Chains A and B, each alone.
Chain A
Amino acid sequence: MSGAGLEKPQLITHVQQSLSYTVFDCKWVPCSARLLCLGSVPRGTGIIQLYELQSGRLSLLREIEKAKPIKCGTFGATSLQQRYLATGDFGGNLNIWNLDAPEIPVYSVKGHKEIINSIDGVGGLGIGEGAPEIVTGSRDGTVKVWDPRQKDTPVANMEPVQGESKRDCWTVAFGNAYNQEERVVCAGYDNGDVKLFDLKNMSLRWETNIKNGVCSVEFDRKDINMNKLVATSLEGKFHVFDMRTQHPTKGFASISEKAHKSTMWQVRHLPQNRDIFMTSGGAGSLHLWKYEYPAQRSKKDSEGVEMGVAGSVSLLQNVTLSTQPISSLDWSPDKRGLCVCSAFDQTVRVLIVTKLSKI
């Protein structure tokens, strides 16, 4: 291969671990070399496993079994000292666990009538100004925002009007949390709708439809003035929206890119560089991308109204890890280039991505 190939980041499988259950989500425990796997055991109960990286392998530290299979989890709304895990399960329950005393949850609510597909948190871990909050999106079509200080009822609830058909909400993400008042929630649905809810004004700020079911949305950084939003979908496509300039009718500028040849399950931005992100696909592949900004981020349209200009995306590297979909991906917030991914082949892999600091 040409010499230029050596300068590209390389993805190395550092550790691979086989599991005896279906794993739906994997997350790094902040400020540590530990990771969590959340999933569903064959007998129909939920499981949380805590692993630690040790001399080239993962050693199991704890195993916690719960009544319902667990679909997703986040550390986003907890402080760096407490590190409580918030989980959503197949029964629509939102629970917050103290992993040192996991018998009884710190907070628990039956938030939804059906499975919670996606969860996100903001305001904890030193990320995001304002109160810590958790948002959950469920198959019952609602998106609810919770504050752990308020029991039983959400602080905001976005649901379809009576009589309208409900669409599965597949993914949720927080963003724009740059001061104490501002916050937005972005939700993606199975019919391709992407909606942006402004929590400060309690209004729908923007919406669009990307023609295929939205599997994953993420802002490049939750705690800055909204900069970019990536939405991945079925049919191997993703869209990058430039969120700095909103046009009254055209909304946000975007570019789209095709890859993976199958469903793009997840997108995750590198915590240390907001312009690099990784997407995972249904054919077991991972693609590492870099976004480049255009020369001018906004321009005036024919009527003199500001509209955004989207940049371009280039592929830095791609690997195929497995034949089964890689359903979950998480970058370590403490070490640049370290990430964990879990696939439906019941394996969790820890990867190292080299040369990211040189990009």
Chain B
Amino acid sequence: MSDQPVSSLWDQGITKTYQIPINNLDYKFIEKCSDVKHLEKILRILRSGEEGYYPDLTLFCEKRIECLAPGSRALRKDKPPASASDFTTEEWEKINDEMKSWVTEMKEDYYKIQFPVTETLHERLDNLPAVRGSNSCLHVCCSVGKEILFCCILLCDCNIDLCIFFTLRFDVEKECSKVDEVCEENNSKACFNISSNLPVIEKKIETTGMTKKERHFIANREKEKGNETFTIGDYKEAVTYYTRSISVLPTVAAYNNRAQAEIKLQNWHNAFQDCEKVLDLEPGNLKALMRRATVHKHLQNYQAAIEDLAKVLHVEPENVIAKTNLSDIEQKLKDLEPVSENHTKGKRILIQDIEESDGDEERGGNGKEHENGSGDKSNITNFNLFFPTVLRTVIPFTSSMA
């Protein structure tokens, strides 16, 4: 019944709204049509029911629009809020349990905060900056006034009803002369003040008089701000927020995140220090080990990187990133090897290199020495002499052919 939305005659004219030919209210047409706006109109007509009630066709049309434009406004429907039936039993229980435990936790904490306000809170209140406008003076008012008049004229020209001017409450007795220079600056500032300077964000936060819970809250908030800026690629800003978080309450997460941001900025030494801090606080931290490995890789301390990655894989053998990094580094090491092969005349073939880490204190040493070796192309024997500490078996195979 819902197949042919037309009566017995074929050419049925057009719909009341939108004036679309009735023939378009058809499965075949909708299937072939790729004009989203047209399909949306068809959907509206079908939903309104003015040409008849065709639930299957409406659904088909919706699916087609979803294929072409999932974000289309026509697909939005009014729905009631979700209830237990929209979730599995476990999910529903989990949600409810989480709420219960959170509520109990907050109740306990609330009574802890109810303790008398700390004395240092008053100290902090005294340390706040001065009330705005208490240093202003007459000159500012006049210069601002001129700018505002200008502003008003501009606004009238633009047909905007509201003109604004500002009154400043100030104490005339305060030092006006000191502010003269400030006035000069203000004069030169345009009404539409577009500052192209980078914002100056303080790296430390004043935490006198804060309870532990407050510190926790603020440190967490700064870290979240850092995460947000990191996600959109503002790594410098992210580092500032993480630094602020750490200045309030040093946490493993903040150090870890800052290390990652420093890696993106290619500040290898800063990243290294942050990784070290994390590993001081939490020796087995996998993220820190992986990040330190990345830093080592870029500083070309391949041996150290391999060790760090080995530790990660020991705990998480299936860690994909660690595995790829490891094979990457091994490849790099191999690439540095064949240099000695290239300059053998005749058929000097390097048969084996058995690398052994001799447990050297300076792990970086091996890597660096290795690099230096590859630059020395003249003599294999020299190669051996350079690195007496490296236990390596190199068997040069000289053929009789010159």
Contacts and interface: CB of A to CB of B under 8 A. Distances in A.
Contacts of B151: 204
B37 interface: no
Contact of A319 (B80, B125, B218): B80
Contact of B166 (A153, A157, A223): A157
A14 B256 CA distance: 36
B136 to A, nearest CB: 8
A12 B95 contact: yes
A206 B96 CA distance: 46
Given A127-B221, A201-B186, A225 B199 contact: yes
B168 A156 contact: yes
Interface string B212-234: 01100110010011001100100
Chain A: interface residue count, which band?
A: 35 or more
A30 B273 CA distance: 36
B248 to A, nearest CB: 9
B228 A274 contact: yes
B199 A178 contact: yes
- Tell me the dominant secondary structure on chain A's binding face: loop
Interface in B167-193: 167-169, 186, 189, 191-193
Interface in B66-80: 71, 73, 76-80
A158 B225 contact: no
Interface centre among A56, A206, A315, A354 (most CB of B within 10 A): A354
B118 interface: yes
A318 B200 CA distance: 39
A11 B214 CA distance: 30
A191 B95 contact: no
A258 B73 contact: yes
Interface in A7-34: 10-14, 31-34
A155 B133 contact: yes
A145 B129 contact: no
Given A155-B133, A204-B151, A320-B80, A334 B106 contact: yes
Nearest to B124: A79
A302 interface: no
For A79, A315, A321, which residue has the most chain B Cβ atoms within 10 angstroms? A79
A14 B99 contact: yes
Contacts of A167: 161-162
Contacts of A315: 71, 76
A158 to B, nearest CB: 6
Nearest to B205: A129
Contact of B144 (A32, A203, A205): A203
Interface stretch (A64-72, A101-109, A192-200): A192-200
A358 interface: no
Nearest to A209: B160
Nearest to B86: A10
A254 B337 CA distance: 56
A167 B107 CA distance: 44
Among B83, B129, B168, max chain A CB count under 10 A is at B129
Interface of B: 71, 73, 76-83, 86-87, 95-96, 99-100, 102-103, 106-107, 109-110, 113, 117-118, 121, 124-125, 128-133, 140, 144, 147, 151-152, 155, 160-169, 186, 189, 191-194, 199-202, 210-211, 213-214, 217-218, 221, 224-225, 228-229, 232, 237
20 contacts: A31-B217, A33-B102, A80-B211, A80-B214, A82-B121, A149-B131, A156-B168, A157-B166, A159-B164, A182-B199, A193-B160, A193-B161, A195-B162, A199-B132, A203-B144, A204-B164, A318-B78, A320-B79, A321-B80, A338-B99
Given A33-B102, A34-B110, A202-B140, 12 more contacts: A10-B87, A31-B109, A53-B99, A79-B124, A80-B213, A80-B214, A130-B128, A156-B168, A160-B163, A180-B202, A275-B228, A319-B82
Q: Which 9 A-B pairs have the closest CB atoms?
A: A10-B82, A33-B106, A155-B132, A126-B218, A225-B199, A320-B78, A319-B81, A161-B163, A13-B81
